[in-house]
Amino acid sequence: MSEDTWAGVRERVLRLAGHPQADKVFGARGHGFRLGPVMDEERLRSLEADLGVGLPAQYRGFLLRVGAGGAGPHYGLMTPVLSDDGWQWRGVGLAYRGQPTTAGFAGRPFVAEALQSELDALDAQEPERDAFTDDDAFRSAHAAWDARYEELYDAQEAGAVFLADQGCGYTSLLVMTGPHRGTVWEDLRPADRGIEPTGHDFTRWYRRWLERTERQLGITPAAPAR
């Protein structure tokens, strides 16, 4: 990855906050074009120790050179923070705090696609009242089915970080493990579409948002300093 990937990006993002039409940008009320401070190597290594795997290189570079979280696509980026229970991603400074992700959960294998197949099969096996002789037997069978469904549903998010809240229950996830590591996926389950890839890595996903926002506001980015 080129060291120039994130050159000047922090300055470009912070510049957007002063634009008179900044509040017209979707998601701006969530993050206000504010960025958290960058992280240093010591804190990144501590985070990676909890995660159990190195951070995706592009995202790691962002944390080092742009900011730990804040302004970004949708309602803003979650921030890795160290708490008494270890590292977590939280909605620091965001109007919509989103769902926290622990480093331990994000470090698990990402198998959302395989679990979707299991969920689809399980969905077809939902107990029907007519198949049972009494209400108690039906309720017991349905409770067991529901518990298993919830277990698989929640496990789909493992191996990824809740990165940004899109609104209306939709979210963006950054995959931390496996062959899809470093790519951004969308949780579209509220629309019964599962968790799907955007086709973009983190750098492409973030820079597309920045460039689109600058075009919307009529801003020409300054050349990075040499």
As a whole number, mean pLDDT of residues 209-219 equals 96
The answer to whether residue 65 is domain-embedded is yes
Q: 194: pLDDT confidence band, cut at 50, 70 and 90?
A: confident
As a whole number of angstroms, the distance between CA 74 and CA 203 comes to: 15
The answer to whether residue 165 is domain-embedded is no
The answer to whether residue 111 is domain-embedded is no
Using DSSP's 3-state secondary structure scheme, residue 150 falls into helix
The answer to whether residue 151 is domain-embedded is no
H or E element that contains 30: helix 28-31
Domain count, the chain: 1
Q: What is the pLDDT of residues 42-90, one digit of tens each?
A: 999 999 999 999 999 999 999 999 999 999 999 999 999 999 989 999 9
The answer to whether residue 38 is domain-embedded is yes
- Weakest mean pLDDT among 34-38, 175-179, 193-197: 193-197
- pTM, entire model: 0.87
The answer to whether residue 73 is domain-embedded is yes
As a whole number of angstroms, the distance between CA 106 and CA 49 comes to: 12
Instruction: Tell me the DSSP string of 128-141.
Output: -GGGSSSHHHHHHH
The answer to whether residue 126 is domain-embedded is no
CA 159 to chain centre: 11
pLDDT over 90 percentage in the chain: 70
Cα four-point dihedral sign 139, 195, 167, 184: positive
State how beta strands 195-201 and 183-187 pair: antiparallel
Contact call for residues 112 and 195 (beta carbons, < 8 A): yes
Query: What is the residue range of 72's domain?
Result: 9-105+201-217
The answer to whether residue 196 is domain-embedded is no
Would the pLDDT of 149 be above 80? no
